[in-house]
Amino acid sequence: MHPDDLAALEVLAAARGGYFGRADLRAIGIDPEVLVPLRKASTIRRVRHGAYAFAKTYDSLTPDEQYAVLCLAVADKVGPNAVLCGASSAAVQRLPLVGIDRRWVDVVRLDQLPGRRRAGVDHRVFTVDEADLVVVDGRIVTSQARAIWEAGVKLPPRSSLVLMDHALHRGDVTRAELEATGEAFASWKGSQGPRLALTLADGRAESPGESLTRWMFYAFRLPMPDLQHDVFDDHGMLVGRSDFAWLEHGMLGEFDGKIKYGRGFVPGKSPEDVVADERKRELKMCGTRRGMLRFLWGEVWAPTRATIARTRDDLEWGRRRFL
């Protein structure tokens, strides 16, 4: 394949949102047979039937970002008779997806064809008003508030909580908008899950891990924490902000994960530097006569009896030790 043709295809893939199709090859005069050696050389990856991405960019994407590329490829295939909805609409709107099956793309039919599940696409049928639709990356998709509820009726409540927390934190939606949208889903099967999530949703949560930690505390009837608590020393100086705080137990809490550290990356600082800064901040906060709980992704995603018992014991220890 001529280098100029390859460069042209890379530009086209970037313009499409990360992929190109077989039809794109023909449109710029390239024989689709070049796909065979490109795949053998691991230059490209197959996203779905007839859609491909360049490995050097696709492989560096997160699972959510790779899923978004898949969703865009499906949107271009089924439109304008169907548009992305649910978790697939949420994906292209850069919402974090926890607990979804990324093998399937959700679309809602705008024509009169019946719903079906085929070739990795779940064709759903329900009423969508024009006001429920927005344009993202040149594709028509259901609005963010709508997508959260469409996804929520198919997902566990904690997955809905992650979506709602993130959307509220970014300011993309308001609680009033989520509540108003939820009224349209009152009779939908599975709507009790997102309704419960909305009662817990809080835009102060800054990562999916923090949302899942709060869900764990709710589900196992542990004391619910305050969020993003400013910690001051005896001189009134701010020494840090903790993800969680249980003031009635004299304890602070942090979600300890890659997403957390990812927010701290700055030019000239290594991951080790960021971790060291986190530890220094923790020591300063604990120096105000507070204990510290730390939570890992695996602990809050699949909590065990031991994790719950330890957390409850640590909170009680803090109450006796610091209060």
Q: If you average pLDDT over residues 175-194, what whole number do you get?
A: 97
For the chain, count helices (H), then strands (E).
15, 13
Residue 51 pairs in a beta bridge with 21, 48
Question: How far from 170 is each of 90, 179, 195, 213, 318, CA to CA, in Å?
Answer: 14, 17, 20, 19, 33
Q: Domain check: are 54 and 71 in the same one? A: no
Answer yes or no: do 72 and 194 share one domain: yes
Q: Within this chain, do residues 258 and 283 fall inside the same structural domain, yes or no?
A: yes
pLDDT band at 35 (very low <50, low <70, confident <90, very high): very high
Confidence label for 233 from pLDDT (cuts 50, 70 and 90): confident
Mean pLDDT of 29-43: 92
- Residues 79-109 have pLDDT tens digits of 899 999 999 999 999 999 999 999 999 999 9
Judge if 172 and 67 occupy the same domain: yes
H or E element: which one contains 297?
A: helix 297-301
Integer Cα distance of 312 and 107 in angstroms: 43
Q: Of the residues 200, 223, 248, which one is the last residue of a structural domain?
A: 200
pLDDT of residue 66: 98
- Do 82 and 175 lie in one domain? The reply is yes
Residues counted in the chain: 323
The answer on 159 and 91 residing in a single domain is yes
Q: Per-residue pLDDT tens for 243-256?
A: 999 999 999 999 98
Q: How far apart are CA 106 and CA 74, in angstroms?
A: 9
> Interior CA angle at 27 toward 25 and 31, to 5°?
40
Domain region containing 23: 3-58
Is the same domain home to 33 and 77? Answer: no
Q: What pLDDT is recorded for position 3?
A: 81
**Residue in 15, 96, 20 with CA at minimum distance from that of residue 62:** 96
Residue 122 and residue 88 share a domain: yes
**Mean pLDDT of all residues in 197-215:** 97
Tally of structural domains, the chain: 3
Token pair in block for residue 143:
């609005």
Q: Give the residue among 89, 71, 81, 76 at the shortest CA–CA distance from 151.
A: 89
77 and 95 part of one domain: yes
Based on the fold, state whether residues 229 and 269 are members of the same structural domain. yes
Which of the four pLDDT bands, split at 50, 70 and 90, describes residue 26? Answer: confident
Task: Average the pLDDT over each of 26-35, 140-149, 261-270 and give the range with the smallest value.
Answer: 261-270
- Is residue 142 a contact partner of residue 185, using CB atoms and an 8 Å limit? no
Last residue of a domain, one of 171, 200, 229: 200
d(CA 106, CA 89): 8
- Do 85 and 195 fall within a single domain? yes
pLDDT, tens digit, for every residue of 263-314?
555 556 665 566 566 777 777 777 778 899 999 999 999 999 999 999 999 9
Nearest residue to 178 (alpha-carbon basis) of 200, 206, 158, 156: 200
For residues 221, 226, 228, 229, the Cα torsion angle rounded to the nearest 10 degrees is -130
Q: What is the predicted pLDDT for the residue at 267?
A: 59
| 173, 200, 227 - which closes a domain | 200
Q: Are residues 85 and 142 in contact, defined by beta-carbon separation less than 8 angstroms?
A: yes
Per-chain mean pLDDT for the chain? 92
278 in the same domain as 215: yes
Q: How confident is the model at residue 182 (pLDDT cuts 50, 70, 90)?
A: very high
What predicted TM-score, i.e. pTM, was given to this entire model?
0.90
